[in-house]
């Protein structure tokens, strides 16, 4: 089977193809996962810097639209590339490219199209008509969790013929390692050492996490919280919260932006992974925690429930509820250790690894090639 994966997200920073693959690493990881399942994969990425790269058995083409505000799917380079390849399936990253999808359907009228959700929201009212036309032109959509389709279904955005698949958003190349060695390298300490990797914004809800930590320290006096973050609109509020609470001062370490390659070592060194997210598409940092065997203590939202599954691969707490987090941290501290790391990594291998992700997407592609219109929209996703 020959699959083309397309990312219409345009890199406005004009990074080189090599740098873009380094920074947008999930693009390569998802493609390589499908290649590991024995499928031929070609990736097209919208980019203001054109080029071609081959990695891990995948050919990547970086193409610019014909105009700054034009459609990649209508560019001469893209149309030429599409004509020269005998494609079986097209896999589009994101749900927000209705115009490109409609143009793509005209170019390849008989090729199944799968859209992959990346934390997309139901479009605003004035955009829904075009979005519905694009949805009617595709054959399948993948979400990290079944429950994530609900707002789209309520808005009437998914036609009955569109098949929905529950597939993790990506995978990770991180691996477990010696915790003592990782602590020596990183300086991370604590009992438990709790790691946060996420923005300091309202969705990630660091203030509730700080309150939960403050509630837990009476029973966990050696707990330390280490925070890696990129954008940080709530940083002043976070710093003020830490400064005024003796339970948090000296216990919370704000590391700021950390290079991605160092996150793996921090996760090896930590005992628990925590986030307070109210909403996630697939949560890359949670996937990376699972890859290193780090026990997650994360909010009970659809993507987290799906990623953790029924294998006791983590602990869920109620979003916005500091008391619930305090209880979860105590539970996590008691459960963490070498056996937990083995169990968490085994869950990752079975359900979220590159091999597992590749098999799931390959099965979805094959399903789209053989089904007939009118089947139950969730039949395949539920194992039917």
pLDDT in tens, 317-347: 999 999 999 999 999 999 999 999 999 999 9
Sheet of 272-275, strand order: 252-256, 224-228, 193-197, 272-275, 295-299, 315-317
Question: Within a domain: residue 376?
Answer: no
User: Are 362 and 338 within one domain?
Assistant: no
Question: Within a domain: residue 19?
Answer: yes
What's the pLDDT score for residue 5? 97
User: Are 136 and 195 within one domain?
Assistant: no
What's the pLDDT score for residue 378? 41
pTM of the model: 0.91
Where residue 90 sits, what CATH number does that domain have?
3.40.50.2000
What's the pLDDT score for residue 10? 87
Question: Within a domain: residue 187?
Answer: yes
Domain extent for 303: 179-351
Question: Within a domain: residue 381?
Answer: no
What's the pLDDT score for residue 371? 60
User: Are 95 and 201 within one domain?
Assistant: no
User: Are 193 and 312 within one domain?
Assistant: yes
The segments of the chain whose pLDDT lies below 50 read 372-384
User: Are 226 and 336 within one domain?
Assistant: yes
What's the pLDDT score for residue 65? 84
User: Are 253 and 190 within one domain?
Assistant: yes
Q: Collapsing DSSP states into helix, strand and coil, what is residue 274?
A: strand
Question: Within a domain: residue 380?
Answer: no
Question: Within a domain: residue 118?
Answer: yes
User: Are 215 and 151 within one domain?
Assistant: no
Q: Collapsing DSSP states into helix, strand and coil, what is residue 119?
A: coil
User: Are 212 and 269 within one domain?
Assistant: yes
What's the pLDDT score for residue 373? 43
| Dihedral over Cα of 378, 159, 152, 74: its sign | positive
What's the pLDDT score for residue 68? 61
Query: Does an H or E element contain 196, and which?
Result: strand 193-197
Q: How many domains does the chain have?
A: 2
């Amino acid at each position: 089977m020959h699959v083309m994966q397309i990312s219409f997200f345009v890199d406005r920073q004009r990074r080189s193809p090599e740098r873009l693959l380094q920074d947008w690493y999930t693009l390569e990881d998802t493609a390589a996962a499908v290649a590991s399942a024995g499928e031929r994969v070609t990736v097209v990425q919208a980019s203001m810097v054109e080029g071609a790269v081959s990695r891990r058995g995948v050919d990547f083409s970086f193409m610019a639209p014909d105009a700054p505000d034009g459609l990649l799917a209508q560019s001469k380079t893209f149309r030429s590339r599409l004509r020269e390849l005998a494609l079986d399936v097209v896999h589009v990253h994101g749900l927000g490219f209705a115009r490109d999808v409609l143009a793509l359907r005209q170019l390849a009228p008989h090729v199944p199209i799968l859209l992959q959700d990346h934390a997309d929201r139901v479009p605003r009212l004035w955009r829904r008509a075009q979005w519905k036309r694009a949805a009617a032109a595709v054959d399948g959509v993948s979400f990290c969790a079944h429950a994530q389709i609900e707002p789209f279904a309520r808005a009437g955005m998914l036609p009955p013929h569109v098949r929905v698949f529950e597939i993790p958003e990506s995978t990770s190349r991180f691996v477990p390692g010696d915790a003592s060695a990782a602590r020596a390298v990183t300086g991370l300490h604590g009992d438990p050492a709790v790691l946060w990797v996420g923005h300091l914004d309202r969705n990630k809800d660091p203030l509730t996490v700080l309150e939960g930590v403050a509630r837990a320290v009476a029973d966990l006096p050696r707990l330390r919280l280490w925070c890696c973050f990129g954008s940080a609109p709530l940083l002043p509020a976070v710093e003020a919260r830490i400064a005024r609470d003796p339970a948090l001062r000296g216990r919370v370490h704000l590391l700021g932006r950390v290079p991605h390659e160092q996150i793996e070592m921090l996760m090896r060194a930590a005992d628990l992974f925590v986030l307070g997210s109210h909403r996630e598409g697939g949560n890359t940092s949670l996937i990376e925690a699972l890859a290193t065997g780090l026990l997650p203590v994360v909010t009970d939202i659809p993507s987290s429930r799906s990623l953790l599954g029924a294998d006791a691969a983590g602990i869920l707490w109620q979003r916005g509820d500091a008391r619930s987090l305090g209880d979860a941290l105590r539970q996590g501290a008691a459960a963490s250790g070498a056996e937990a790391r083995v169990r968490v990594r085994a869950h990752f291998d079975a359900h979220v690894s590159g091999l597992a992700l590749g098999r799931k997407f390959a099965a979805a592609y094959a399903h789209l090639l053989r089904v007939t219109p009118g089947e139950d929209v969730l039949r395949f996703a539920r194992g039917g």
